[in-house]
Amino acid sequence: MTRTLKIGVLETGLPPEELAPDFGNYPSMVESWLTPLSAKYDTEFTFYPILSGDIPTDGSAADIWVVTGSKFGVYEDHSWIAPLEELIRDAKAKKALMIGICFGHQLIAQALGGTVRKSGKGWGVGPHVYDTSAWPEALGETPNSLNLQAYHQDQVEVLPAGAQTIASSEFCEHAALWYPGFAVTVQGHPEFSKDYASALIESRRGTVLSEKDADQGQENMARDVTASSLAEMIATHLDHL
């Protein structure tokens, strides 16, 4: 019998208003990225608009939680940060699994005792290539590299207990983390299409992003991404996360 997976997507951010009609919201992007899970299991996705106050309190309400990206910093004073951190800890205690994306990568680390700061290295924008020489055997064959769209200034700088760095670069030391038995998190955005990532950069050119950062991000678009391979790994090795 096919196993049914309840997947709770914790929506902590919104695309720029002008891009949403063409590209949808972040939970829909996540669902599309995780197509390999839906191909292997019966999946039931539930979206939680965290910014509207819809914050689950029971970590066992989903088999897998996905924490999306966000324009906010995990260290900022928002009323929904602490309850979401409590959900992360409760999910871990109740043996649910988690996937963290960008902000989610950072929030899971912070909730479990790690430290996140705005990096002095500035913005990472467009596809970045991460070294996978520390890839754990439990997660399958070591990929040649992990290539993901990036859009961030903040970085995890101090790991929480039990976390292992499984992908890194000179720019981002802790680009992907594995919490055995609990979570895989990535600083990049595997859910972003090339078209969306490019449009996001242009929407922030000259405001959030300098012309130089925007130009670099668009130049990086020539690089391949391996987001689909990451989703395949999660689907194949779900029992070893």
**Total length of the chain:** 241
What are phi and psi for residue 189, nearest 5 degrees? -120, 85
Q: What is the pLDDT along the chain (241 residues), one digit of tens a residue?
A: 367 899 999 999 999 999 999 999 999 999 999 999 999 999 999 999 999 999 999 999 999 999 999 999 999 999 999 999 999 999 999 999 999 999 999 999 999 999 999 999 999 999 999 999 999 999 999 999 999 999 999 999 999 999 999 999 999 999 999 999 999 999 999 999 999 999 999 999 999 999 999 999 999 999 999 999 999 999 999 988 8
What pLDDT sits at residue 240? Answer: 82
What percent helix, strand, coil does the chain show, rounded to 5?
Answer: 35, 25, 40
Asked whether 66 and 104 are in contact (CB, 8 A), the reply is: yes
Q: Going from the N-terminus, what domains does the chain have, and what CATH number goes with each?
A: 4-240 (3.40.50.880)
- From its phi and psi, is residue 126 left (phi > 0), alpha (psi between -120 and 50) or beta? left
Q: Which residues contact 104 (CB under 8 A, 6 or more apart)?
A: 10, 12, 66, 67, 68, 69, 185
Which pLDDT belongs to residue 1?
37
The conformation of residue 232, written as its DSSP 8-state character, comes to: H
Q: Give the Cα separation of 139 and 69 in Å (integer).
A: 23
